[in-house]
Amino acid sequence: MFKIGEFVVKANSGICKIEEITELDLLDDGNLIPYYVILPLDEKSSRLFVPVDTAANVLRYVIDETKAWDIIHSIPSIPEPIFENEKIRELKYKEAIKNCDPQSLVGILKSMCTRKKLRIEQGKKSFAIDEHYFKLAENSLYSELAFATGKEKTDIHEMITDLIDNNGEQQ
């Protein structure tokens, strides 16, 4: 069970703080259900309600600084996923975003960068679907790594972009 004041990650909401635990009767049937009230750090005016009994399916603790640096240093060795077709590609993108797993997000970002470079070399634009999921993956990954390391999000962005673009050799 999460505690008030702890920081968690929620898909599509990013890093959130557990503000309180309350009971609500949303069905108006007299049955009070415990909910976490969480506040996304990127959206100060939002309050999200997550049922305590299903929270483990949609929330996870933010990684710590050691784990963040381990992920950053392992970027060169994280493999790019291979997709059988475009439908599978989009499903895997959605899955990675939903799971908020940093290593999966790195793999997806690496794959998208490779795909984008190839399309540019062919004189083509990147796919809109790739751009959409690239932004979601970037935001999720960079926000968590910045939070965990105490760095600015822009610094994390530059560091990871350099690692991906230069095959692991920081400039």
Average pLDDT value for residue range 156-165:
90
141 and 80 both lie in a single domain:
yes
Does residue 1 lie in a domain region?
no
Q: Is the pLDDT of residue 11 over 90?
A: no
CATH code, domain with 96: 1.20.58.1290
Reduced to 3 states, what is the DSSP secondary structure of residue 75? helix
Does residue 123 lie in a domain region?
yes
31 and 84 both lie in a single domain:
no
56 and 81 both lie in a single domain:
no
Does residue 12 lie in a domain region?
yes
Q: Using alpha carbons only, how large is the chain's radius of gyration in Å?
A: 18
Does residue 79 lie in a domain region?
yes
116 and 55 both lie in a single domain:
no
159 and 124 both lie in a single domain:
yes
CATH code, domain with 42: 2.40.10
72 and 153 both lie in a single domain:
yes
Q: Write down the pLDDT at residue 115.
A: 86
Using CA atoms, how far apart are residues 69 and 80, in angstroms rounded to an integer? 19
18 and 43 both lie in a single domain:
yes
Give the residue, 17 or 25, on which the prediction is more confident: 17
For residues 10 and 58, the answer to whether their CB atoms sit within 8 Å is: yes
33 and 53 both lie in a single domain:
yes
Q: Write down the pLDDT at residue 69.
A: 97
Question: What percent of the chain is modeled with pLDDT above 90?
Answer: 56
CA distances from 149 to 66, 91, 98 (A): 8, 30, 22
E-only strand ranges, 31-159 = 33-40, 48-51, 59-61
How many separate domains does the chain show?
A: 2
Q: Write down the pLDDT at residue 103.
A: 92
Side-chain half-sphere of 141: how many Cα atoms within 13 Å? 29
Q: Write down the pLDDT at residue 171.
A: 45
Q: Is the pLDDT of residue 170 over 50?
A: no
* Chain segment 55-106, per-residue pLDDT in tens: 999 999 999 999 999 999 999 999 988 888 888 988 988 888 888 899 999 9
73 and 145 both lie in a single domain:
yes
Average pLDDT value for residue range 128-134:
87
Give the residue, 30 or 170, on which the prediction is more confident: 30
Structural domain for 139, as ranges: 65-165
151 and 80 both lie in a single domain:
yes
Q: Is the pLDDT of residue 168 over 60?
A: no
E-only strand ranges, 6-62 = 7-10, 14-24, 33-40, 48-51, 59-61
